[in-house]
Amino acid sequence: MAVASSAIPLLLKPGAREIVGLYPTQARQWPNVFAKRSSELQAEYTPTMRYLGLPGVKNPGQAPNTDNQSRQYYAYQHIHTAYGLMYGFTREAMDDNLYKREFNPANLGLAKAFLAMEDTVAADVFNYGNVYNAAQGGDGVALFSTAHPVDGYTIPNTPGTPIGLNESSLLAAENGVRQFRDLAGVLILAQGKKLIVPTQLRHTARRLTVGQFRPGTADNDVAVTKENNDLSEGYAVLDYLTNPFAWFVQSNQGGLIMLERIPFEINVWVDKATQNLLVSGYQRYYFGFDRWTCAYGVYPSS
């Protein structure tokens, strides 16, 4: 059912002081966290390979240790999702609307709605990061897990006991990132580069990452995150994070990606039979990750 004149009664008569409803918003937040690339395929894959492990001691007259375990261990699948939104206006509603400049039937905030959807989908990578998604694949556990399998043992990128964001828990997460290893069990020298928080933790994040001295003390001890060059990119706020207590440390290893298959497009046409104005938007993309070493996540309940 298209928008009819009965849906906009005050726009059919003079005297409206202002038309309110389309609010200004800030820029997209996801580019602060995700790396964007274009895609020309229905789906893409990221194979995860095991490379060589550490060499052993070579004894005189003996051959060195052999490592023939290099192969594909896991694969991450990136399948694009299409998003669409459509609406219509009757011919009569368009003709009788006295405020077409303020309430333009061809522009009801469609682009803004799609921008908000991008941030929503991006934040869901973290909102559901502790739930395994078989369609995404990978190493068989959730993005944030206590048991990512490598040769002979497992590596966590989430704590066994989730703790709220404070100085000690942040330092523990940074140390956790330092323990990331490749599939052969070799340290990759990962380092936390950015703290990611919901809007409820933005003030805490600022205290922990911006000041030169330790927060919450009367001492002049340096802030260790700045002293060690950890969190060199500060913090980012994602307003669409749904857990007000969850927080994340993005590593310098990459892996959080946005693949754009079809950029946002608008189509406007008039239905010949009804004379209704029809407007639709379309976009297709993927938000996700291609390696678990991209981040360390914490999901406390308070």
Residue 66 confidence (pLDDT): 86
What 3-state DSSP class applies to 9? helix
Question: Per residue in 172-209, pLDDT tens?
Answer: 999 999 999 999 999 999 999 999 999 999 999 999 99
The domain in which residue 162 lies consists of: 28-50+72-298
Query: From the CA atom positions of the chain, what is the Rg in Å?
Result: 25
Asked, for residue 2, whether it belongs to a domain, the answer is: no
Domain assignment present for residue 222? The answer is yes
- Residue at 271 is within a domain: yes
Pairwise CA distance, residues 199 & 123, whole Å: 12
Q: Residue 162: inside a domain, yes or no?
A: yes
| Contact (Cβ atoms closer than 8 angstroms) between residue 108 and residue 281 | no
Helix (H, G, I), strand (E, B) or coil at 239: coil
- Cβ-count burial of 181 within 10 angstroms (0-12 exposed, 13-18 middle, 19+ buried)? middle
Per-residue pLDDT tens for 239-277? 999 999 999 999 999 999 999 999 999 998 888 898 888
Lookup result for tokens 């029809």: 278
Conformational region of residue 254, where left means phi above 0, alpha means psi within -120 to 50, and beta covers everything else? left
Structure token pair of residue 253: 């290893």
What pLDDT does residue 26 have? 72
pLDDT of residue 34: 97
Query: Residue type at 253?
Result: Q
Q: Are 75 and 207 in contact (CB under 8 A)?
A: no
Question: Quick check: is 294 in a domain?
Answer: yes
Do residues 231 and 174 touch, judged by C-beta distance below 8 A? yes
C-alpha neighbours within 13 Å on the C-beta side of residue 135? 7
What would the two tokens of residue 152 be?
């002979």
State the chain's mean pLDDT as an integer: 87
Extract the tokens encoding 219.
């001492």
CATH number reported for the structural domain that contains residue 147 in this entry:
3.90.1690
CA atoms of 71 and 66, how far apart (whole Å):
15
pTM reported for the whole predicted model: 0.87
Task: Please list the ranges in the chain whose pLDDT falls under 50.
Answer: none
Structural domain includes residue 148: yes
Report if residue 61 sits inside a domain. Answer: no
**How many domains in the chain?**
1
Is 199 part of any domain? yes
Instruction: Identify the three-state secondary structure at position 157.
Output: coil
Q: Alpha-carbon distance 235 to 283, whole Å?
A: 29
